[in-house]
Amino acid sequence: MSTTASSAPAAVEGPESGRAFLGLGSVFVYRLLSVIGLFTIWEIAGLIPISVAFPTFSDTMQALWEMTADGRMTDAYGETLKPLAVGVSISAVFGVAIGVGMGLNRLFQWTWEPIFVVLQASPVAALIPLITYAYGIGLTAKTVAVMILAAPIIVLNTYKAVRNASPTLIQMCRSFQGTRLQEIWKVIIPNAAPVIFAGLRLGVAAGFIGVILAELLITPTGIGDLISYHRSVAEYAHMYAAVFSIIVFSAVMVGLLEKVETNYFRPEKKKGH
Amino acid sequence: MASVTAMQSPHAAPDPAKDNIVEVRDITKFYGTDIHALDSINLAFPTSQMTTLLGPSGCGKTTLLKIIAGLLEPTAGEVFVKGKPVTGPGPERAFVFQDFALLPWATVLRNVAFGLELTHQPKAEREEKARQYIDKVGLGGFEDKYPHELSGGMRQRVGLARALAVNADVLLMDEPFSAVDEQTRRKFQEDLLHLLSVEKKSVIFVTHSIEEAVYVSDQIVLLSPRPGRIHSTIRPEISRDASPDDIRRDKAYLDTVEEIWNNLRKYLD
């Protein structure tokens, strides 16, 4: 084939060649506008007020600052993070491993699928008394609550992603003498990575729900304690500050996972949008 | 004109006893119990020539190619490569996929080197070889791009470079240009012929385009559908020395296209 410059086809213009606004990417500007809009509506809703139990955005931020400054927030997160980190880590490691196994092997799938489908379908708040009966009211019970919420999502997403790996890519790997192990590591898992990570992001978010649920329903500790205590003494700004902080924290964790995915598994997405 | 028996071709006339790089004997393929895809196919593919499997959809041409590649098991029959029976994929055969089958998460360089990566060639060595073939298919400068940044034609050039990089004797091409637009396709066909004349590969090419088959092939195998059988074998007598545009206007070229069309049209009702 000719190697002259004229025969080299031009690169395709990707959709990512976005415009800039004031030197910022347009995506960033839109996100910022969305966040500002939300906070403005919150402030207005608090000023009306739509309920005496609904503080303004500025009051909430003030309460957040106060609790951060006097160390209450740090102590609360120290408590909340223990079952959360342990539960999410176990769910992620074993969840992905079990999901990959289910995707690759039918017998493995039939063994595990019913358990996780039942767990995913069940209303977890109703299972919490059962958890306390079995594991007491300590760290173990809260970790189990996190896992019950996080693991099924991670397992089932991983399993679907692996099972639906591109048949042509698998054939390609075989046609170039790839072994089964190479097929799994070099084709199936990277191919499934976007959906596996989508499952991990949903799983981590569900883990946050699990830990707050456990702290509200089992014994009040950490962020759950801040929420229920301030509600009981009608310090609604402080209560919402705790809720707000856990949402932000959860969003940051989910965002970090996305970074891990693009950096280590799907580098082509970095060039995308 | 074209003849049904072997006659002069741009290459030397093959001696069927030893100059066939691939042979298939009595290949029969059933999908399940009722779909009869191929029925006792016997075929020889001459060394260093381009053989095309041509036929309407449903004639089993891709099935036959995948059986030769070792990606599908035949229900009965055997495939011989360089005289030895084979049952799975091997280093002497390289496949070019219809839908390219590129790893979306890998750069052009890694995609082209992927066949060598799977056989554990050292990184520096395989990348050196990949760069060579990236240049040969006309993609120099695109080494660090990802497949989604390339056009369809360029993606298939990556697929071709990957198949060439493993240095197999036989290239198996499954409708490589069907997902590429017509203009790109013509240019690609010309480039492919040029490249193959340099690389001295044997090629088995599947297509449903009569013009494409006549333009690129030394030998055309017409398959008839349900179940797939060999209808006839045609060797177009077209001089490859002429320019691409002259070939497309050549009387022998046009007559061969017409003859094949007359043979195939009865299966379309």
- Structure ipTM: 0.85
Measure Cα distances from A204 to A93, A99, A218, A258 in Å.
12, 16, 20, 12
3-state helix vs strand vs coil in chain B, percent to 5: 35, 25, 35
> What is d(CA A37, CA A43) in angstroms, rounded to the nearest whole number?
10
Q: Please identify among residues 166-195 of chain A the ones whose CB lies closer than 8 Å to any CB of chain B.
A: 166, 168-169, 171-179, 182, 186-187, 190-191, 193
pLDDT digits (tens, 9 = 90+) for A151-191: 999 999 999 999 999 999 999 999 999 999 999 999 999 99
In A, minimum Cα distance to B184 occurs at A9
A176 Cβ neighbours under 8 A, 6+ residues apart: B89, B94, B95, B114, B115, B118, B119, B162, B166
> Is 80 exceeded by the pLDDT of residue A123?
yes
Cβ–Cβ gap B99/A8 under 8 Å: no
Is the entire prediction scored with pTM above 0.95?
no
In a domain, A40, yes or no: no
pLDDT digits (tens, 9 = 90+) for B255-265: 888 888 888 88
Q: Say whether domain B17-92+169-231 belongs to CATH 3.40.50.300.
A: yes
Cβ–Cβ gap A171/B148 under 8 Å: no
Q: Select the residue of B89, B119, B136 nearest A1 (Cβ to Cβ).
A: B136
Q: In which residue are the tokens 């209450």 written?
A: A72
> Is 80 exceeded by the pLDDT of residue B8?
no
Task: Name the token pair of A127.
Answer: 């299972």
The minimum CA-CA distance between A168 and chain B, rounded to whole Å, is 6
B158 Cβ neighbours under 8 A, 6+ residues apart: B100, B102, B108, B111, B112, B134, B137, B139, B147, B150
A263 touches chain B (CB under 8 A): no
Cβ–Cβ gap A176/B89 under 8 Å: yes
Q: Select the residue of A11, A166, A177 nearest B149 (Cβ to Cβ).
A: A11
A13 touches chain B (CB under 8 A): no
Measure Cα distances from B60 to A54, B40, B206, B208, B226 in Å.
69, 12, 10, 11, 8
Contacts of B191 in chain A (CB under 8 A): 1-2, 7
Closest CA to A119 of A131, A102, A104: A131
Kindly state the DSSP code that residue B13 receives in the 8-state scheme. P
Confidence band for A90, pLDDT divided at 50, 70 and 90: very high
In a domain, A11, yes or no: no
Q: How many CA atoms lie within 13 A of B77 on its CB side?
A: 24
B196 Cβ neighbours under 8 A, 6+ residues apart: B50, B171, B203
Between residues A6 and B22, the one the model is more confident about: B22
The minimum CA-CA distance between A17 and chain B, rounded to whole Å, is 11
> Is 70 exceeded by the pLDDT of residue A254?
yes
> Is 90 exceeded by the pLDDT of residue B138?
no
Between residues B235 and A65, the one the model is more confident about: A65
> Is 50 exceeded by the pLDDT of residue A135?
yes
**Do A167 and A188 meet the contact criterion of CB atoms below 8 Å apart?**
no
> Is 60 exceeded by the pLDDT of residue B220?
yes
In B, minimum Cα distance to A182 occurs at B118
Q: Mean pLDDT in chain B?
A: 84
B127 Cβ neighbours under 8 A, 6+ residues apart: B109, B113
Give me the residue spans of the domains in chain B: 17-92+169-231, 101-167
In a domain, A17, yes or no: no
**Do B41 and B196 meet the contact criterion of CB atoms below 8 Å apart?**
no
**Do B41 and B55 meet the contact criterion of CB atoms below 8 Å apart?**
no
**Do A178 and B114 meet the contact criterion of CB atoms below 8 Å apart?**
no
pLDDT at A23: 62
> What is d(CA A110, CA A119) in angstroms, rounded to the nearest whole number?
15
Contacts of A172 in chain B (CB under 8 A): 95, 97, 101
pLDDT at A76: 92
pLDDT digits (tens, 9 = 90+) for B74-122: 898 899 998 888 888 989 899 999 989 999 999 999 999 999 999 999 9
Mean local confidence (pLDDT), B211-221: 85
The minimum CA-CA distance between B160 and chain A, rounded to whole Å, is 11
Phi, psi (rounded to 5 degrees) for B24? -120, 135
**Do A102 and A113 meet the contact criterion of CB atoms below 8 Å apart?**
yes
CATH of residue A117: 1.10.3720.10
Closest CA to B262 of B72, B2, B35, B79: B2
Distance from CA of residue A8 to its chain's centroid? 43
> Is 90 exceeded by the pLDDT of residue B39?
no
B79 Cβ neighbours under 8 A, 6+ residues apart: B22, B23, B24, B25, B27, B67, B68, B70, B85, B86, B87
Measure Cα distances from B244 to B216, B238, B249, B250, B259 in Å.
10, 11, 9, 10, 21
Q: What is the maximum alpha-carbon separation in chain B?
A: 55
**Do B220 and B235 meet the contact criterion of CB atoms below 8 Å apart?**
yes
Confidence band for A24, pLDDT divided at 50, 70 and 90: low
Cβ–Cβ gap A9/B99 under 8 Å: no
Q: How many domains, chain A? A: 1
pLDDT at A191: 92
In A, minimum Cα distance to B102 occurs at A169
Cβ–Cβ gap B136/A173 under 8 Å: no
In a domain, A196, yes or no: yes
Residue A150: how many other CB atoms lie within 10 Å: 30
Residues in a beta bridge with B86: B79
